[in-house]
Amino acid sequence: MADEPVVRRRVVKAASGISEARVNGQKTQSQYQPYKDAAWGFINHWYPAVFSKELAEDEVKGIQICGIPIVLRRVDGKVYALKDQCLHRGVRLSEKPMCFNKKTISCWYHGFTFDLKDGKLSTIVANPDDKLVGTTGLTSYPTEEVAGMVFVFVREDDFADEDVPPLSQDLPFRFPENSERFPHPLWPAAPSLLDADAVGHGMHRTGYGNWRIACENGFDNAHILVHKDNTIVHAMEWVLPLGILPTSDDCITVVEDEQGPKGMMQWLFTEKWAPVLENESLGLKVEGLKGRFYRTSVVLPGVLMVENWPGEHIVQYEWYVPITDDLHEYWEVLVKVCPTEKERADFQYKFDRVYKPLCLHGFNDCDLYAREAMQNFYADGTGWDDEQLVATDISPITWRKLASRWNRGIAKPGKGVAGSVKTHSIRFKDTAAGKPPGYFVEQIED
Amino acid sequence: MADEPVVRRRVVKAASGISEARVNGQKTQSQYQPYKDAAWGFINHWYPAVFSKELAEDEVKGIQICGIPIVLRRVDGKVYALKDQCLHRGVRLSEKPMCFNKKTISCWYHGFTFDLKDGKLSTIVANPDDKLVGTTGLTSYPTEEVAGMVFVFVREDDFADEDVPPLSQDLPFRFPENSERFPHPLWPAAPSLLDADAVGHGMHRTGYGNWRIACENGFDNAHILVHKDNTIVHAMEWVLPLGILPTSDDCITVVEDEQGPKGMMQWLFTEKWAPVLENESLGLKVEGLKGRFYRTSVVLPGVLMVENWPGEHIVQYEWYVPITDDLHEYWEVLVKVCPTEKERADFQYKFDRVYKPLCLHGFNDCDLYAREAMQNFYADGTGWDDEQLVATDISPITWRKLASRWNRGIAKPGKGVAGSVKTHSIRFKDTAAGKPPGYFVEQIED
Amino acid sequence: MADEPVVRRRVVKAASGISEARVNGQKTQSQYQPYKDAAWGFINHWYPAVFSKELAEDEVKGIQICGIPIVLRRVDGKVYALKDQCLHRGVRLSEKPMCFNKKTISCWYHGFTFDLKDGKLSTIVANPDDKLVGTTGLTSYPTEEVAGMVFVFVREDDFADEDVPPLSQDLPFRFPENSERFPHPLWPAAPSLLDADAVGHGMHRTGYGNWRIACENGFDNAHILVHKDNTIVHAMEWVLPLGILPTSDDCITVVEDEQGPKGMMQWLFTEKWAPVLENESLGLKVEGLKGRFYRTSVVLPGVLMVENWPGEHIVQYEWYVPITDDLHEYWEVLVKVCPTEKERADFQYKFDRVYKPLCLHGFNDCDLYAREAMQNFYADGTGWDDEQLVATDISPITWRKLASRWNRGIAKPGKGVAGSVKTHSIRFKDTAAGKPPGYFVEQIED
């Protein structure tokens, strides 16, 4: 043992020549500095806010995305979204909804009343002639509702209406228009939320950690070990490989079309990613490989698409919506085109009985755990500098670079909002009552 | 919509000319900078510590005010107050009271023994001849006990005894001496804690937020909406206006008499504050107005007086005693002069059956909620700069200015005390056990 | 009272001349600045990790010492210890142990596999040919197992194997080799963990506070008051003095032998520490003194030995193992030499029935409380500067100085580990679920 030097952390042999692109050197890191700065998320993007069924007619709900508090109200079917922070004394309108008509929402504290359409301060209940009326307002956020989901365009205060891109630019690649570029062995076109008759089923819950760590886990091709004991795997009698490895530089296609979503496609079902069946030194060998032909892609602002999963002609979407720098809302949505009532009912049945318990929970719960397990390493910034990456990490590195190039803005650290001060006595009071930080605003009963 | 500019937060039309005094401009803010600096409270002032009944003969209790730990002990009826932090190793004497005689309190840890009268280190149990004895001591705090309440003069270590002002200088204006200046339609003189036969009934509890936010809510004339559904309002068959608006510049009188309390009186029952009965654009109209003739004032260090509330010939006092920068002790006290045993019994009965459940709780619980709702906005300093004020906010702005001029000192951020480090593992241990931060020291049982 | 100046905190009379060594002046403090810097502990020292029975054959457990996460695995009886932070994405190996053979431990997330012996990255499950393999690794930590305890040498990443000192250099003085230097009235040689037939019984639990505050309480000779009501004291019909006072400068012997442990011995059973039986001014007088002839010593990195306690021919060891800067693992271990089966059984019986409930709990629980009581004062650094020390504090001052001279390194504040960010949302989630921060890693079930 005397002639064998003690090997310790980060003592990398110079001779072995880890390629620049894989090791997290200064040069590579400089290419994704904006990503490292985006702890509070990318702003000026479309994010899911609630499922349609979570916001009934005339209901008001408060959420927070990228450190921005947002109040939603549905009137005559349409969803309106405003900054959920009264410009007077800063309380959240959603904490105690007060609406006198279909066009406005009023603050429950001093009666400041805002137009739902554009956020303008249109009156004050007991002060209608105040000089402030008509001169100021709350930022409004464009909304879209498709396939049972409400999306909000979360923007900076001075982002102009005319610059708001269509929702499709922040959703995964659609088919059949991409069928030739991205051929799939099973079908010519995976479904999209935007398709006619598309049905989305899913759930969302708060993830305790930064959104980037969660997102990178979503399209991580090397963590198959985490899932080896999942019920769905065994129920389907699949036999998983030990892992998959990129075989050439075109294993990932970066997509940067001017008018389309910006992201990347991982060719998992092709010869570009080879299954690994053996590890000799550990005596591991897989026989009778039998799995699923799925394929993954990710687009800004962090939307995962897994095609052909968990069943044929189904896609799974995932979002990791930043709430603060250490909290995100984790969305899992399955989409299928169901033109008939029968197909809708079948999909619902399968979702409730199989997909939700075994996939969205059983399978993905393991990922939730893995994401939390990384938090200590990354939360104080250490991880971004100290991680030692390998061949399969071409996926997160490619993502970090493209996200740095194409995001529409880095959200500023939240100010004056939940999570901007993490040690506030109210947080301790709530925690003592068993309530950790979350996504929705808790409303007060009179 | 094209020619209508997008109205967003803080895009104030230059033309409309919001008056300097109302908008929170740089100039106005500079006039109350000391107030903005007083997150830990104003020091060298009188504050309520406990109700008399909370400190029995020979009892010892620990509290914290303005970041200063204070131990109270009652001996032969008199209450003594010392800094509750042993000068040896910093433990709180109150955690495990140890008193060998009527003149001292000893530290339970190493026996350091202090004179109750002046805080001097008079002996050490097992080290009576140590050189330190007689040369040092703990700061002592003057006390006063009136109408069932114990007050402590919370001072800096070098504030001289001879400079301690009378308690009356930190209590609301008294009558009849102010009856002519501040005439009230119902009586010539509202009662005071200092009056002969004055009886105080009330409660105190910990408020999760900064004391200034709480205090400003106390005399806020524009938040009547919060109370519109309160039981007391409907039980009394009152009809509230939408709000009240100042009609002239003398709607508030600032009181700065040399020897008296420093504060302001709001002429709510006069033509100086007009009730608002209609908001045309919202279609709101109040008919048959029928409320209470109350009047509010506030004096340093943050004492609210509501005259003629919640009944005739009663006043309600409120204090928002700073514990730390994000915690205060909220006091609500009703005072009535009761010369006879019968009147005392009646007042007690009414307090228990009506005032406490419907006013101190029902009505004021809404205010507690409103105060917490502002915390995220103000806790990181954002609120003080971003709030947009209106005509009715002449009240907090006047208060902020006068408090900045007349306070006797800005409390320094707490050092070496509860709340100076908010992330300490003990805080997490206590929180996990369901115990949020609070006002009283929890004592240990052997 | 007019001619008597107001005595307040830290107003020390110049004339009375407190000796430099006792008052915490700038000069004295400069001599133990390294100690003041050691909030996260002293590194490159031996610390207890687990009791032998806490780590069964093939078991894996994660702990944290001096801000360093450490994973333990026992294979064929031997305990291996590695840095418990995968060099890839920073997760803890111990959270979900995965071992494919007796020589390695693999990361459950991406299959990075490390040699238990030296920490080298020997393979990656699904990526065995990656360029990183064989070029890097995790820091390994030498282990020793004696008398039912597993010790780990917690070192910096570049601390060489050949420089690792024997465990005995970080354990208290042994006898009989020190019997002449440190004669004890009851026996020629107190037992040691390292003795043949030594049996150790004890417990460990998380202490909520800094390790130094805990350690100083361990050998504090002046806090006897805390224990006056303990059951063990009364059960044994002891009569304690009010305290004990040093009578000469040689009341403490500093031990700095080149090859031995560095520490100090307090001659408590001799005329060098006189019992105090009376405090005239408080009217306290002890008669019929009847206690125990115990003696205390402390050595680096903070190991207490109490000889002849809680029974004859028994010693009590204590460790205050730093986890973070505000958390430590408190160890209490009783050692006795038991050559026969009968003696082992008797010791076990006595431990379970008397020593554990009445001493390790009853008696020492009071110390735990005292340690927590000091935390607010010391946690923000105030205490180190503001404490006012007396004659008996020659003990902590002597310890602080010698620890500053002889420690093998100051642990750096933890980075990328539990406790480096104290406000992380996961901590609030765990706290809301009733789980405060602790010592062991909680493992996930599939």
How many Å lie between the alpha carbon of A430 and the closest alpha carbon of chain C? 8
Question: So what's the pLDDT on residue B418?
Answer: 95
Q: Using DSSP, state whether C206 is helix, strand or coil.
A: strand
Query: Which class for B147: exposed (0-12), middle (13-18), buried (19 or more C-beta within 10 A)?
Result: buried
**How far apart, in Å, are the Cα atoms of B94 and each of B69, B245, B282?**
10, 48, 56
Write out the DSSP string of A198-238.
Answer: EEEEEEEEEESS-HHHHHHHHT-TT-GGGGTT-HHHHHTT-
User: Which residues on A lie below 8 Å from C104 (Cβ)?
Assistant: 282
CB contact under 8 A, B89 and C283: no
User: Does the pLDDT at position B298 exceed 50?
Assistant: yes
Could you give the CA distance from residue C352 to residue C112 in angstroms, rounded to a whole number?
A: 43
Could you give the CA distance from residue B94 to residue B61 in angstroms, rounded to a whole number?
A: 6
The mean pLDDT of B194-211, rounded to a whole number, is 97
Q: What is the CATH number of the domain that holds B431?
A: 2.20.25.10
Q: Are strands A78-83 and B198-207 parallel, antiparallel or unpaired?
A: unpaired
CB B105, CB B113: distance < 8 Å: yes
Q: Which pLDDT band holds residue C12 (cuts at 50, 70, 90)?
A: very low
Could you give the CA distance from residue A68 to residue A158 in angstroms, rounded to a whole number?
A: 14
CB C165, CB C44: distance < 8 Å: no
Could you give the CA distance from residue B240 to residue B214 in angstroms, rounded to a whole number?
A: 23
CB contact under 8 A, B377 and A134: no
**Interface predicted TM-score (ipTM) over 0.90:** yes
Question: So what's the pLDDT on residue C271?
Answer: 83
Q: Which pLDDT band holds residue C331 (cuts at 50, 70, 90)?
A: very high
Q: Which pLDDT band holds residue B17 (cuts at 50, 70, 90)?
A: very low
Question: So what's the pLDDT on residue B1?
Answer: 35
- How crowded is residue A229: how many other Cβ atoms within 10 Å of its Cβ? 11
Touching check for C421 and chain B: CB below 8 Å? no
User: Does the pLDDT at position C16 exceed 90?
Assistant: no
Same domain, B213 and B356: yes
Could you give the CA distance from residue C376 to residue B62 in angstroms, rounded to a whole number?
A: 14
How many Å lie between the alpha carbon of A158 and the closest alpha carbon of chain B? 8
CB contact under 8 A, B126 and C244: yes
Same domain, B272 and B399: yes
Question: So what's the pLDDT on residue B332?
Answer: 98
Could you give the CA distance from residue A365 to residue A216 in angstroms, rounded to a whole number?
A: 15
User: Which residues on A lie below 8 Å from C109 (Cβ)?
Assistant: 223, 225-226, 370, 373
The mean pLDDT of A431-444, rounded to a whole number, is 94
Same domain, C222 and C355: yes
Average pLDDT of chain C?
A: 91
CB contact under 8 A, B10 and A157: yes
Residue B39 covered by a domain: no
Question: So what's the pLDDT on residue C15?
Answer: 31
How many structural domains compose chain C? 2
Touching check for C344 and chain A: CB below 8 Å? no
Touching check for B160 and chain C: CB below 8 Å? yes
- Tens digit of each residue's pLDDT (9 = 90 or more) over A321-359: 999 999 999 999 999 999 999 999 999 999 999 999 999
User: Which residues on C lie below 8 Å from B425 (Cβ)?
Assistant: 208-209, 324, 326-327, 436-437
- Tens digit of each residue's pLDDT (9 = 90 or more) over A202-222: 999 999 999 999 999 999 988
Six-digit token string for A434: 């068993």
What is the domain range of residue B343?
172-406
Same domain, C382 and C340: yes
Could you give the CA distance from residue B409 to residue B46 in angstroms, rounded to a whole number?
A: 12
CB contact under 8 A, C370 and B109: yes
Touching check for B279 and chain A: CB below 8 Å? yes
Same domain, B233 and B309: yes
**Out of C88, C106, C434, closest to residue A387 by CB:** C88
Residue B294 covered by a domain: yes
Task: For residue B342, give the H/E element and its range.
Answer: helix B341-350
**Out of A4, A279, A372, closest to residue C128 by CB:** A279
User: Which residues on B lie below 8 Å from A130 (Cβ)?
Assistant: 390-391
Same domain, B282 and B373: yes
The mean pLDDT of B221-230, rounded to a whole number, is 85
Residue (of C324, C340, C356) closest to C438 by Cα position: C324
CB C156, CB A10: distance < 8 Å: no
Q: Which pLDDT band holds residue B340 (cuts at 50, 70, 90)?
A: very high
The mean pLDDT of B285-297, rounded to a whole number, is 83
Question: So what's the pLDDT on residue A408?
Answer: 98
Touching check for B385 and chain C: CB below 8 Å? no
Residue A436 covered by a domain: no
Same domain, A108 and A192: no
Q: What is the CATH number of the domain that holds C182?
A: 3.90.380.10
Residue (of B211, B87, B202, B70) closest to B143 by Cα position: B70
Residue (of C127, C68, C75, C77) closest to C104 by Cα position: C75
The mean pLDDT of A405-413, rounded to a whole number, is 97
Residue (of C88, C446, C444, C95) closest to A222 by Cα position: C88
Q: Using DSSP, state whether B399 is helix, strand or coil.
A: helix
Average pLDDT of chain A?
A: 91
Six-digit token string for C129: 């040919």
Query: Which class for C316: exposed (0-12), middle (13-18), buried (19 or more C-beta within 10 A)?
Result: buried
Same domain, B204 and B352: yes
How many Å lie between the alpha carbon of C172 and the closest alpha carbon of chain A? 30
CB C328, CB C207: distance < 8 Å: yes
**Out of B125, B423, B444, closest to residue C284 by CB:** B125
**Which of A94, A421, A425 is most worth mutating to test chain B (most B CB atoms within 10 A of its CB)?**
A425
- Tens digit of each residue's pLDDT (9 = 90 or more) over C39-83: 999 999 999 999 999 999 999 999 999 999 999 999 999 999 999
Q: Are strands B284-285 and A315-324 parallel, antiparallel or unpaired?
A: unpaired
**Out of B372, B377, B391, closest to residue A85 by CB:** B377
Residue A428 covered by a domain: no
Residue A383 covered by a domain: yes
B336: left (phi over 0), alpha (psi -120 to 50) or beta: beta
- Tens digit of each residue's pLDDT (9 = 90 or more) over A107-159: 999 999 999 999 999 999 999 999 999 999 999 999 999 999 999 999 999 99
Q: Characterize B303-336 residue by residue with b for buried, 16 or more Cβ atoms within 10 angstroms of its Cβ, and e for exposed.
A: bbbbbbbbbeebbbbbbbbbbbbbbbbbbbbbbb
Same domain, B229 and B89: no
CB contact under 8 A, C243 and B127: yes
Same domain, C113 and C150: yes
Q: Characterize B397-424 residue by residue with b for buried, 16 or more Cβ atoms within 10 angstroms of its Cβ, and e for exposed.
A: bbbbbbbbebbbbbbeebbbbbbbbbeb
Q: What is the dihedral of CA C107, C110, C115, C120, to 10 degrees?
A: -120
Could you give the CA distance from residue B352 to residue B330 in angstroms, rounded to a whole number?
A: 19
The mean pLDDT of C362-374, rounded to a whole number, is 93
Total count of residues recorded for chain A: 446
Q: Which pLDDT band holds residue A7 (cuts at 50, 70, 90)?
A: very low
Residues linked to residue C144 through DSSP beta bridges, in sequence order: C151
CB B155, CB B164: distance < 8 Å: yes
Q: Characterize B55-65 residue by residue with b for buried, 16 or more Cβ atoms within 10 angstroms of its Cβ, and e for exposed.
A: beeeebbbbbb
Q: Are strands B295-299 and B303-307 parallel, antiparallel or unpaired?
A: antiparallel
Residue C35 covered by a domain: no
Searching chain B, which residue's CA lies closest to the CA of residue C18? Answer: B131
Residue (of C144, A124, C397, A326) closest to B281 by Cα position: A124
Same domain, C262 and C345: yes
Could you give the CA distance from residue C308 to residue C296 in angstroms, rounded to a whole number?
A: 9
User: Which residues on A lie below 8 Å from B392 (Cβ)?
Assistant: 110, 127
Could you give the CA distance from residue B368 to residue A412 in angstroms, rounded to a whole number?
A: 31
CB C353, CB C201: distance < 8 Å: no
Same domain, A115 and A240: no
CB contact under 8 A, A137 and B11: yes
How many Å lie between the alpha carbon of C259 and the closest alpha carbon of chain A? 24
Residue A191 covered by a domain: yes
Touching check for A94 and chain B: CB below 8 Å? no
Residue C28 covered by a domain: no
Query: Which class for B119: exposed (0-12), middle (13-18), buried (19 or more C-beta within 10 A)?
Result: buried
Q: Are strands B252-255 and B78-83 parallel, antiparallel or unpaired?
A: unpaired
Residue (of C65, C89, C98) closest to A373 by Cα position: C89
Question: So what's the pLDDT on residue A446?
Answer: 63
Q: Which pLDDT band holds residue B23 (cuts at 50, 70, 90)?
A: low
Task: For residue A346, give the H/E element and its range.
Answer: helix A341-350
Six-digit token string for A337: 């085109």
Last residue of a domain, one of A127, A144, A161: A144
Residue (of C36, C139, C49, C37) closest to C413 by Cα position: C37
User: Which residues on A lie below 8 Å from B375 (Cβ)?
Assistant: 424, 426
CB contact under 8 A, B119 and C9: yes
Q: Which long-range contacts (CB under 8 A, 24 or more apart) does A396-401 make?
A: A396/A216, A396/A220, A397/A21, A397/A22, A397/A28, A397/A32, A398/A252, A398/A254, A398/A264, A399/A215, A399/A216, A399/A219, A399/A264, A399/A298, A400/A31, A400/A32, A400/A35, A400/A36, A401/A31, A401/A32, A401/A35
User: Which residues on A lie below 8 Å from B373 (Cβ)?
Assistant: 91-92, 95, 109
**Out of B244, B376, B392, closest to residue A420 by CB:** B376
